[in-house]
Amino acid sequence: MFKISKERRIADKIKNMLYKRGFKVDIKIAKNTKSVYLKIDNGACATIRISDHKNSKTRSKFNVIKNYEGKRRVYCNGFTRMFYNFHMLGSLIADVEAERSNKILKYGYTKYRAIRDNKDLSEYYIYNKQVA
């Protein structure tokens, strides 16, 4: 019988929690490791990485790692990376919601919605045409 990994079950749980809060979530599964990546609102928000090991190669802002104990927030190469274990899903969801509200305040709801829905952003910008 096919057994679903713990990381995949956690990913499905997070996806359902975010879906109830109005997010669009896509799941990508790594080929060689047990990592699962959640793309939130078509890339308008930061991604969530769920795994059983720590990885410094990916640039996911939210990292859920099995049995993680250590610093919760790390600044590395100009990026903020936040770490959680499998029992801290409530604080993860709260931080993702705060990230979305900060992006909406920064860019405005119409631009955020356009990015989320993969619409063309050119209608929101004014281009100065120069004739030579």
The 8 Å CB, 24+ separation contacts for 28-36 are 34/5, 34/7, 35/7, 36/7, 36/8, 36/10, 36/11
pLDDT reported for residue 125: 53
| 3-state class percentages of the chain: helix first, strand second, coil last, to nearest 5 | 35, 20, 40
The domains of the chain are located at 6-124
User: Are 33 and 53 a contacting pair, CB within 8 Å?
Assistant: yes
pLDDT reported for residue 115: 85
Least confident of 1-5, 16-20, 111-115: 1-5
Please state whether the predicted TM-score (pTM) of the whole model is above 0.85.
no
